[in-house]
Amino acid sequence: MEHEALTLRDPAPLLERTLHEWGGGEALWIFGYGSLLWRREFETDAEVPAQVHGWHRAFRMRSRVNRGTPAQPGLVFALMAGGSCHGAVFRVPAERAEAELRQLWLREMPTGVYDPRWLACRTPHGTVHALAFTLHRSSPGHTGRLGDSQMQQILAHARGRYGTTLEYLRETALELRRRGIRDREVERLMRLAGD
């Protein structure tokens, strides 16, 4: 575990790179697929349903801060290569974008584990390029495939600064349902948790 902590990246240079890639001057789009759908915490002036191709929602990222601890890691969703994912894109006004992104970074990138990248998101109004938080399979935060009994243990016990892994899963499942988004794996995990 100590080795894993050492291989995580400093989130500050990743933020500066992301700000440079955005360039300023126009609105910033952010793709939400997990907790950003139900607990956004940044100012937007538009929200549009969106789909990304080549990436899927996966409950395979360790959380040692937000939904778990180093001693009892929890799980959160990440975008991983392959498949497709339905969610939403949020437009942050240009004049607020840098400040909002810096705040979002404190929440989403405390350990630098995500790979922030710009993805083409299809919306009913055309394609927008939005910032998304992805995870590479080689990341120290990637759990690989977990057995059902291990998943049940995590759902029963993992808790971090924002609450439990189970609460996170439940809120995401409820929000996907509210938006009419069908995700079979999320539904399976809810059944596994007894919800």
Asked whether 187 and 173 are in contact (CB, 8 A), the reply is: yes
Is residue 49 predicted with pLDDT exceeding 80? Answer: yes
**Which of 133, 32, 21, 45 is closest to 95 using CA atoms?**
45
Convert the pLDDT of each residue in 76-91 to its tens digit.
999 999 999 999 999 9
Instruction: Tell me which of 30-34, 47-51, 53-57, 138-142 is least confident.
Output: 138-142
Would you please indicate which residues are annotated as catalytic (active-site) residues? 108
> Residue 61's CB: how many other CB atoms inside 10 A?
23
pTM over 0.95: no
Convert the pLDDT of each residue in 142-190 to its tens digit.
999 999 999 999 999 999 999 999 999 999 999 999 999 999 999 999 9
- For domain 2-192, the question of CATH label 3.10.490.10 is answered with yes
Strand partners of residue 50: 87
DSSP 45: S
